[in-house]
Amino acid sequence: MCVRRALRLTRSVSEGECFTELRVGCRMKRSPSLTLRVSLIALLAAAGCSSYADRVRDVRNGFYSGNIATSEKIIAQELRKKRHAKEADVLKLERAMIELSSGKPAVAERTLRDVRDRFDFLEQKDLAEGVASYLTDDTHRAYAGEDYEKVLIRAFLALSNLMHDGGDANAYALQVNDKQRQIIEAAGNNADKNPKLEYKRVALGAYVNGMLRESTLRDYDEAKRSIQLVANWEPEFGSAKQDLERVTNGRHSAPGHGVLYVFTLVGRGPYKEERNEVPTQAAMLIVDHILSAVGKHSVTPTFAPVKVPVVVVPRNQVQSVSITVDGQPSGLTETITDVGELAVQQYAAIFPRVLARTVVRRTIKKGSLYAAKEFGQVDNPLAELAIDAAGVAWEATENADTRCWGLLPNKIQVRRIELPAGSHQVALQPASSSGQPLGGSQITQLQIFDARNTYVLANFPGTSMVGQILVNQEASAATPLNGELTNEQREAIIFGEGVCWPKKGKPGDFPEPPSEDIP
């Protein structure tokens, strides 16, 4: 309980009107409306119970305004609070987005991997915690993540690793597809009982897998299968047709050219907020009255709002990012995963279960108090009134579970650009869906290698970029004269999981990484 109110209520009847009396010490005051009194109790009981959405609002505002340091400080403060321990994992997801945007992809990868493993563990049912949540609310359960969040963790692991060393990016990309399959299959094959069968798939994992398989200059068949999945899952992704044609012909890039992949996080993504389910509250109140009229005891009236979490996607002005290379326009980024649409669609599929759980919780609370009256053989109207008032206060302490990964983008987009090997200047500028510029340009310098991939990642939640432009480690650090490979060098390359290793420095020549770095 957030606020406890000890009230002694008596009831008197005068000229057919019901009055309520409140004893405070030795004094007695008279109030003309029981409904008003109980409603006031509910409001007082609910006061001071802040939701997760309330507590992280400053994190979101600071992040979107570019004040990353402030957002990171707030998250650190929240993580130290033991009373919010059940929010630690979702707070780490927010921190991972800050780390990635700040140019620390390796740190973000470790954070995301930690949460991924925790969410997998929390898929196991905790009976005691489940029972406790029916007596309180869902915020008292450890947060195990929404289905779309579990999949997107793996997608961002792939992106983070690409911006670091790229060695595990393909493994993470395959996990994206595998996790989607697990989530859907775990809910059963009955279409009438499994709403998850209608889930939209995240195409980013298949895209990254196809991109990396193509970069081996040999696994074109596997690349083709992955790109075909992209075309099936994200039919609005126009570049899929060109990608399929290219991998079918077995052509990564022209001689003396490499490929630049620009990934962008565009717009402010989905988050949860609390909503009062008024029709459900009204229906329950009617049932309460009916049961009270025909039953031996009164049923706690549903005066307290029935609160449920809903997924909200804010309106976004920025719809794409315009790319300029060496002063020449190179197109707009395209959506490979619509995060907002994904979150809304998946949450809508399971919302009936969320609402049903909320109704069951209320029913259990009402039943508990009714049983208490029966067990205690309560037949005094004043005692029944006191129990009902306590019940209303109990129900009013419920909060909707608004925990979610609130710093996700609205869309994940990408653009593939083939460029001559060498050094290039790349400028990114937020734009409307038609390509109309909406803010200033952000510029970075990078290397393109012959027959190799270079990766860029930037976050544009609004008309200003948050953080910095990330360039994969190899392309940002290396400074060859022209970036080209000789024929001998081409043949000397051993192609691995998205990273090209010269024979002089193949993976086996280096010590094994610590176990914590295994994806």
Residue in the structure block whose two tokens are 């609310």 = 137
The confidence band for 366, taking pLDDT boundaries of 50, 70 and 90, is confident
Model pLDDT, residue 137? 80
- Strands across the sheet containing 257-268: 334-338, 409-420, 257-268, 453-460, 466-471
Residue 6 pLDDT greater than 90, yes or no: no
Q: Helices in 249-338 by DSSP H: which ranges? A: 278-294
Of residues 359 and 191, the one with the higher pLDDT is 359
Torsion of CA 295, 298, 302, 304, to 10 degrees: -160
Predicted confidence at residue 418, as pLDDT, reads 97
Query: How confident is the model over 247-296, as pLDDT tens digits?
Result: 999 999 999 999 999 999 999 999 999 999 888 888 888 888 888 887 88
| pTM score of the predicted model | 0.80
* Better pLDDT: 294 or 307: 307
d(CA 392, CA 41): 7
At 35, which amino acid appears?
T
Domain limits of the chain? Answer: 52-272+310-348+403-517
Q: What is d(CA 162, CA 90) in angstroms, rounded to the nearest whole number?
A: 23
List pLDDT tens digits, range 426-443: 999 999 988 899 989 999
The residues facing 322 across adjacent strands are: 332, 429
Read off the amino acid at residue 49.
C
- pLDDT of 7: 32
pLDDT digits (tens, 9 = 90+) for 76-93: 998 888 667 788 999 999
In this structure, the dihedral spanned by the alpha carbons of residues 425, 457, 268 and 89, taken in order and rounded to 10 degrees, is: -150
Question: Do residues 456 and 105 touch, judged by C-beta distance below 8 A?
Answer: no
pLDDT at 166 over 80: yes
Which among 33, 32, 14, 30 has a CA at the least distance from the CA of 22? 30
DSSP characters over 156-219: HHHHHHHHHT-TTHHHHHHHHHHHHHHHHHHT-S-TTT-GGGGPPP--HHHHHHHHHHHTTTS-
304 token code pair:
């307290």
User: Cα separation of 19 and 38, whole Å?
Assistant: 12
DSSP state of 304: S
Reduced to 3 states (helix: H, G, I; strand: E, B; else coil), residue 349 is: helix
pLDDT for the residue numbered 318: 95
CA torsion, ordered 468, 471, 475, 481, to nearest 10 deg:
-40
Residue 423 has pLDDT above 90, yes or no: yes
Per-residue confidence band for 519, with pLDDT thresholds at 50, 70 and 90? low
Buried b (16+ CB within 10 A) or exposed e, 360-386: ebbeebbeebbeebeeeebeeeeebbb
Instruction: Place domain 52-272+310-348+403-517 in its CATH homologous superfamily.
Output: Tetratricopeptide repeat domain (1.25.40.10)
pLDDT at residue number 34:
41
Per the structure block, which two tokens stand in for 389?
A: 């008032």
- DSSP-derived secondary structure letter, 510: S
325 in Cβ contact with 260 (< 8 Å): yes
Please answer whether residues 322 and 437 qualify as being in contact, where contact means their C-beta atoms are separated by less than 8 angstroms.
yes
- Please, which pLDDT band fits residue 222 given cuts at 50, 70 and 90? very high
Alpha carbons 519 and 515: distance in angstroms, whole number: 9
| pLDDT of res. 460 | 97
pLDDT of residue 47 exceeding 60, the answer is no
